[in-house]
Amino acid sequence: MSADKIQQAIYDALTGDATLMALIVKVCVEVEQPDMPGEDSDFPYVTFGEDDISSFDTKTDNGGSALCQIDIWSRQNNLIEVKKIAGVIYGILQKGSLNIVDADHVLTRIEGQLFSKDPDGQTKRGMVMARVVYDEMT
């Protein structure tokens, strides 16, 4: 399974949710997260981090599990905004449905959330780890 197909399915689910899109500026797909976001950067926004994909193919079926990192970036004075956004993402993905090209979505579980202050002293970060399980269509 191509990691970009899983990312696209998550992207579609996130950007298709009006509640989330009302809270953030955008969901960035092809953006390199800068070490020091500029003062004029638009916040809050969501980016995609690293993925860890494991297959569990059998003689008759192909499938896998992907642990996907979703990052939330904010410039509020506290972590409340990133926690609120993470809660909305949890509601979208946990037990939600994803439309993955060339695969049947089995389930998505949020395995963890982490909230921290960036070393720049201004930026707050939320990290959501989502496990996506799928069967490939043959």
Average pLDDT, the chain: 89
* Lookup: tokens for 48: 């995609």
- pLDDT of 60-108, one tens digit each? 788 899 999 999 999 999 999 999 999 999 999 998 999 999 999 999 9
Higher pLDDT pick, 14 / 55: 14
pLDDT at 9: 96
**Cα 27 from Cα 29, distance rounded (Å):** 7
Strand 45-55 with 103-117, pairing: unpaired
Q: Read off the pTM.
A: 0.90
